[in-house]
Structure 1
């Protein structure tokens, strides 16, 4: 028996010997153009062709008895007999494979960054990646598997599915072909094999849409669940926004929901809407889609569900600037534009009215110096003292200066809203997570303002990437920021220091009582999208705190006061900072700043004429009637009346078609138009009464003077 056993083992060794020896010494993988061959001596054991559309190929590497080759953004592992046993999905085009250090390292290269990863042994047709993989919002990367499957002709799909059993789109195409041929068992088997794979979340989302379209609704629902779980494992979180470009690259679920709603398939749309709500509720354009869905629910009599979706939409405004929602900077921009237009109208009306009153007397005073124009260069200092504003009273000049200061603030707010909006919409801040090579290569372009807010972003990036030491250093720069304290508690909990972790959570909650992350970590169970997601897909893990839009706004541009202070310190930067080209808005802010300086100096100039000498010319009286409040600036309510008139007129200006405030209520709406017209009519009525009272007072004063003279 013992001799027979040794003979069997020897026979097996002799049989396996050529294969093992060939793998190590006599066999080799060779890349010839787009063809990968495995040669044993002069004999070709197998070969595989890769279409040019799949992307560049790397030189193959033999490691652990398997052959590894990079194709576009993936790495395939093939056995010596040509079977595919694993695939790694990577965030960029594979540039090299290296096994010299006893482990298999892979490098990916994009235009401006490089990443390196370590691959594990094949398992379940997958190659585990030891480091965190963050997929960029690049459809060429995230849609590579689907594109590779779609380019295969229908007649070759079954063979391609056998060659690449880890491509779910090939398996689904083969399953549909089997179903069309009447083999329902083979079709269901192919779908089950696709669902058994290990895939990144963009692929799961794309696969779910195709499963849904093919009639495999239950499988699509399961694929969406797998997508959420993989996204959670990669650090995606519902508290972070996702742009349309990123959502498109990650499977475009919002577009598929729109298709389902167009088709009236509310049952399936409900599944996809729940998926979006759980994983990416803050995607760009979410509000419009949520409200559309709520309207369709209401049309079906599901009023309670519709109102719940509307309430959920409103709840997403929390944490935005002034709780205005994801379009907060656009709303602030339009408010600033409307205010700037109103102030410009008010300032223009005030200056025109003051000019009309001073015109005659100014002409008399400058006649001795060559007239209004010649005196400018003949006697510039005297002419400056005789500017038409120097004929106004100190109170009138003060109101004009205040209008100028308000105009500068409004223009600065407009500029701040533009800058902040650009910063908040930066791609690096809108992929649903932080970290990864793509993020690191682009977050530097934001020129984040040094401070606690930027330190929080830096710490989160390091913490998500597993670098606790760098995260602690960054959070130390954030001081007593509540988010940073919570995340330090997460680091402490990972070190099994529960006491310090709870102390940090309590400090974070005491600093900001409405913060959900420390409340969740202390077991208080707040019900917001982030904590619900954490409880479902990262159960047992402490909750990180992510910056809201207010924190991000301070990080990318600071607050309005900081912007105005910077403009005052470096006014010439308004004409183009760094490599930026000059903007008309920057020039307008600079002109407003210079104008305010002139108005401030004019406050120090003595008045050039008395009220009695100025009188009340006919042009001045006419403008006093046409421009409400412009002749009453010396009184307490003149400026208020002037601003009220200017705001009503600016609010009605979009009716002329030359200007538009997209994020504000439109005056084309009867209610808005009626309210603005009422305010405008009321301002004229109050102004008429005030002007008549002033004229009556002046007339009475003149009569009194005549009596005293007579």
Structure 2
């Protein structure tokens, strides 16, 4: 059940209780509600009791529905309850979608909402003194829903603010506009601000209100609004251990964007309050490490080195449970490293193929002359021509090296594809909205192809548990065993139903399986010092701590490792090219590299075409052997290593040309890195020159020994 915080004035609360709890007990209503166009009227015969008009900016209208002396009307994503006699607002229910219907059959008020094709049904209740929703409400990261209250207030003309605030005292943004319209009357302004804080709104609206209060010169009220946002979010299942995307954070009030504004204005005291809010509720938001680093640098410039180091240490603490412990944004580094590796291998493979082709070119021309020429022979004698491809003139060691380079290129390009696919899926709304569960979330999760296993079962079990379906959650957690996280959450279910001995036994088993599992340690009373556990103590006092999957677990659930990605891609090439989660260029590059590697592997079976010794090092080959370090001695392992080193250095130096960039590897563009890479490049050419001279001397000796009458070839 969604717990609402904040209240309304005592008179309004009493009116709501009278209107809702006596519904159905009175014989006749004092008025009949009628909706014409966008005007709601209550009539008693020919007498008009009250009327309200709703501008087009507020969205679609649903209803009205009369239950006893209460009139319900759906407006956009909210439901208003009015007194049928006076039209007094009795409450407002904020819902996660646009209201499409209201129904009172069965003795309760049921609401149907729709957003992005997802329908949800909720039950309204007035037993707590405010119109509330019995089921858990999970707000989607959609500004159409989360920004409705602010838009409703902004649509009111300045001249109509006073009347609109009197008609809708439950909208805090109207009260704030009243405060801003009273600059010469501090008492009236403060009174309006108190009214703005004396309502119940969901946490996205609290964050938006806090930013406006801050900008209007009410910092204390903004702090209070942020505290209420934090508590409301905690009650709805938002947790600091669950990542949140930049778009979702923007829909939930955009606190990170407001921090950037405060830092630009050099309002560090206010920025500290908002940074603390982000650190406590959304520490793993997309782009967080960059903002933390910027804030730490500003603190250091202000002479606050201790605080700056504390923020850097906090950033480092977020690396646990991420891919290769690189941090929340570490996947970008993985993708950048994979792109750099792929570029290095591609350069190396192309250089090797070009050198082999240059060496075989004259001999191939002579061998194919009798078959009709280099190109016509493919049509006249395809099998004989296939035996004379330029790779056939390479030694078995050279062919093996080419095949290994091709296989490595497939793995590197597959790594780029894997990292891109993981990045897209981890930023999907189902996995980056700050919480799990809810009808909209479940629909988004269904769009992801989860790999069956403990990690997927843990995700689905968490969603069911947060939604209050412990029976389904228990079944899913059992499928996830022996996962330590699932054991901890089974212990939470046991503790909630009052079985303390079993709960502690499950906590101990989970901690035994994973000694670093902070949730199990917290539930056993060990109190490890983590920020997420402090959030639990403050905002969910007395409640056991759930275990949330880390980034590695979520990655296994949605994508699997690199081998899984490669098998899926190569077994279904058409599906790979049509995969919207990966760029078409990456998919095409993966298929092309796989096809090239298959041809190189097939070339291992071809018999070698022997080239006369005096023609084994033609001028074009020698020129390439000088220009491409290691290319002239590919039959030696040292030649392959030298050529690969050259390809790696050239790929790393590519950003200096302005043609290729590796934005996720910024250290490549640093002056020190560039100097080291240039030194390595010079070293490869020095070694290659020595190798080339040695190879030429050895070749000349072999020619004199095997064919003493042959004229020595001129070197370029």
Q: What TM-score, normalized to structure 1?
A: 0.92
Distance in 2 (alpha carbons) for counterparts of 1:22 and 1:473:
46
Pairing 1:305–2:310 present: no
Partner of 2:156: 152
Distance in 1 (alpha carbons) for counterparts of 2:78 and 2:490:
35
Change (3 A) 1:305 1:342: same
Contact 2:96–2:140 (CA under 8 A) maintained in structure 1:
yes
The partner residue of 2:103 within 87, 98, 115 is 98
Change (3 A) 1:289 1:21: closer
Contact 1:574–1:589 (CA under 8 A) maintained in structure 2:
no
Deviation of 1:367 (Å): 2.7
Distance in 2 (alpha carbons) for counterparts of 1:176 and 1:425:
38
| 1:98-125 residue CA offsets vs partner (Å, 9 max, x unmatched) | 222111111112240111111111655x
Distance in 2 (alpha carbons) for counterparts of 1:386 and 1:279:
67
Deviation of 1:196 (Å): 2.6
The partner residue of 2:90 within 85, 88, 91 is 85
Distance in 1 (alpha carbons) for counterparts of 2:358 and 2:169:
86
Pairing 1:387–2:389 present: yes
Deviation of 1:438 (Å): 2.1
Distance in 2 (alpha carbons) for counterparts of 1:546 and 1:593:
38
Change (3 A) 1:193 1:574: closer
Contact 1:112–1:441 (CA under 8 A) maintained in structure 2:
no
TM alignment of 1:309-348, pairs within 5 A:
309-348=311-350
Contact 2:457–2:477 (CA under 8 A) maintained in structure 1:
yes
1:58 counterpart SS class: strand
Higher mean alpha-carbon deviation, 47-56 vs 272-281, is at 47-56
Distance in 2 (alpha carbons) for counterparts of 1:572 and 1:74:
45
Distance in 2 (alpha carbons) for counterparts of 1:374 and 1:27:
94
The partner residue of 2:141 within 137, 140, 161 is 137
Contact 1:576–1:582 (CA under 8 A) maintained in structure 2:
no
Change (3 A) 1:59 1:570: closer
Change (3 A) 1:172 1:373: closer
Change (3 A) 1:480 1:518: same
Distance in 2 (alpha carbons) for counterparts of 1:147 and 1:576:
39
Deviation of 1:625 (Å): 1.2
Contact 1:489–1:505 (CA under 8 A) maintained in structure 2:
yes
Partner of 2:212: 210
Change (3 A) 1:39 1:379: same
Deviation of 1:551 (Å): 1.8
2:91 counterpart SS class: strand
Deviation of 1:275 (Å): 0.6
Distance in 2 (alpha carbons) for counterparts of 1:305 and 1:207:
28
Contact 1:86–1:122 (CA under 8 A) maintained in structure 2:
no
Partner of 1:284: 286
Deviation of 1:424 (Å): 1.2
Deviation of 1:21 (Å): 10
Partner of 2:713: none
Pairing 1:648–2:649 present: yes
Distance in 2 (alpha carbons) for counterparts of 1:198 and 1:661:
48
Partner of 2:13: none
Distance in 1 (alpha carbons) for counterparts of 2:213 and 2:280:
20
Partner of 2:113: 108
Deviation of 1:653 (Å): 1.4
Change (3 A) 1:20 1:612: closer
Distance in 2 (alpha carbons) for counterparts of 1:674 and 1:582:
34
Distance in 2 (alpha carbons) for counterparts of 1:511 and 1:384:
58
Change (3 A) 1:708 1:468: same
Partner of 2:404: 402
Partner of 1:13: none
Higher mean alpha-carbon deviation, 224-233 vs 408-417, is at 408-417
Deviation of 1:20 (Å): 11
Change (3 A) 1:701 1:378: same
Change (3 A) 1:542 1:78: same
Partner of 2:16: none
Distance in 2 (alpha carbons) for counterparts of 1:51 and 1:107:
22
Change (3 A) 1:289 1:61: same
Count of residue pairs the alignment pairs up:
687
Contact 1:86–1:123 (CA under 8 A) maintained in structure 2:
no
Distance in 1 (alpha carbons) for counterparts of 2:180 and 2:132:
29
Distance in 2 (alpha carbons) for counterparts of 1:316 and 1:607:
56
Change (3 A) 1:141 1:570: closer
1:318 counterpart SS class: coil
Partner of 2:254: 252
1:404 counterpart SS class: helix
Distance in 2 (alpha carbons) for counterparts of 1:270 and 1:359:
69
1:398 counterpart SS class: helix
The partner residue of 2:498 within 496, 499, 506 is 496
Partner of 2:71: 67
Change (3 A) 1:582 1:575: farther
| 1:290-314 residue CA offsets vs partner (Å, 9 max, x unmatched) | 1221122111100110111122122
Partner of 2:178: 174
Contact 2:421–2:582 (CA under 8 A) maintained in structure 1:
no
Distance in 2 (alpha carbons) for counterparts of 1:686 and 1:607:
29
Distance in 2 (alpha carbons) for counterparts of 1:175 and 1:573:
58
2:370 counterpart SS class: helix
1:427 counterpart SS class: coil
Deviation of 1:609 (Å): 0.8
| 1:551-571 residue CA offsets vs partner (Å, 9 max, x unmatched) | 222222221111112233334
Partner of 2:57: 53
Pairing 1:31–2:32 present: no
1:275 counterpart SS class: helix
Distance in 1 (alpha carbons) for counterparts of 2:25 and 2:571:
75
Change (3 A) 1:706 1:175: closer
Deviation of 1:443 (Å): 1.9
Alignment RMSD: 2.4
TM alignment of 1:415-454, pairs within 5 A:
415-454=417-456
Higher mean alpha-carbon deviation, 216-225 vs 492-501, is at 492-501
Distance in 2 (alpha carbons) for counterparts of 1:258 and 1:100:
50
Partner of 2:10: none
2:237 counterpart SS class: coil
Pairing 1:620–2:625 present: no
Change (3 A) 1:581 1:128: closer
Partner of 2:567: 565
Change (3 A) 1:514 1:216: same
1:75 counterpart SS class: strand
Distance in 1 (alpha carbons) for counterparts of 2:575 and 2:163:
63
1:435 counterpart SS class: coil
Higher mean alpha-carbon deviation, 615-624 vs 199-208, is at 615-624
